[in-house]
Amino acid sequence: MSMALSDRRPLRSQGAVVAGRGSLESFFAGLQPDWHSSWAWDHYEATILALMHQFGLKRLCEIGGGRDPLFTALEARRYGLDLVVNDIDAGELALTPEGLRTARFDIAGDLSEPDIARGGYDMMVSRMVFEHVHDVERAWSNMHALLAPGGIGLAFVPTLWAPVFALNHILPEKASRAIVHALFPARREGGGDPKFPAFYDWCRGSGATLEPMLQRAGFRDIHIQPFWGHGYFDRMPGLRGLDNAFNRLAARIDWRFVTTYAYVVVRKER
């Protein structure tokens, strides 16, 4: 669902944000994302580039990028990114495409690994990673330590209590894995997009829920961008129609309890 190389140009925010200044809230108000999660998937890389351009950032670390990083080496050079791809698993990092620097460490660990660079990144991002982390609050605290002053953290996460992810959360892992493998054959064992156990710790789309935790982690400039809808029922027309209607209504009334995905965005004070 990623954008083609030619389409990954920075989005332009219409908000009153001068380069390097302004709040995350005003940035996203100007960006005006759509409510449907298809926008979140299609514009994630472009949103990262826009944030880096707007706030004057260069050193980027992708958490959990492993075998499938957001940017290729060619794209990193094109956009002037000093990019490091992180993963906890050496096997995943061994699959990182050639030309990209890597760093092995646990974002929710004790930050004792040799590859740790405290204050070494201007921006840290992740895509569909934090739902697999046992201690997400510690991950955000560690991100605060790893970011330079003024740096931005951005996690793209699936959220509870979207019905499709609530089901994945409550089912035994064996049953959940069987369902995902049936719906998405590419995610079977040996495929290019394996399924990992999901815990959904602090994976929510509500600012009221997340902000106290993110403030404990050290952040004050916080923005939660909610999205609704998904593609899990695309091959089930009847269920797809009902689910689309539900999500459209939830988005219209801004029902954050049942968001499907969210961009969780934070900025470290200078």
**CA geometry: angle at 260 spanning 259 and 265, to 5°?**
75
Output the pLDDT for position 197.
Answer: 86
**209 has a pLDDT exceeding 60:** yes
Can you read off the two tokens belonging to residue 117? 């660079």
Least confident of 128-137, 184-193, 213-222: 184-193
Residue 254 amino acid letter? D
CATH number, domain 5-267: 3.40.50.150
**1 has a pLDDT exceeding 50:** no
Q: How far is CA 187 from CA 44, 103, 167, 182, in A?
A: 21, 25, 18, 9
Average pLDDT value for residue range 254-267: 98
Output the pLDDT for position 111.
Answer: 97
At 141, the pLDDT band (50, 70, 90 cuts) reads very high
CA 182 and chain centroid, separation? 25
Residue 39: how many CB atoms within 10 A of its CB? 17
Output the pLDDT for position 3.
Answer: 42
Q: How far is CA 215 from CA 66, 141, 189, 264, 265, in A?
A: 29, 9, 39, 13, 12
Output the pLDDT for position 71.
Answer: 98
Percent of the chain with pLDDT over 70: 84
At 17, the pLDDT band (50, 70, 90 cuts) reads very low
In DSSP terms, 265 is beta-bridged to: 154, 223
Residue 40 amino acid letter? A
Average pLDDT value for residue range 105-114: 97
Q: E strands of the chain, at which residues?
A: 59-63, 82-87, 101-104, 121-127, 147-158, 221-227, 261-267
Phi, psi of 174 (to 5 degrees): -60, -45
What do you get for the CA distance between the two ends of the chain, in Å? 35
Residue 218: how many CB atoms within 10 A of its CB? 15
For the chain, the structural domain boundaries read: 5-267
**178 has a pLDDT exceeding 70:** no
At 196, the pLDDT band (50, 70, 90 cuts) reads confident
The 10s digit of each residue's pLDDT in 32-83 is: 999 999 999 999 999 999 999 999 999 999 999 999 999 999 999 999 999 9
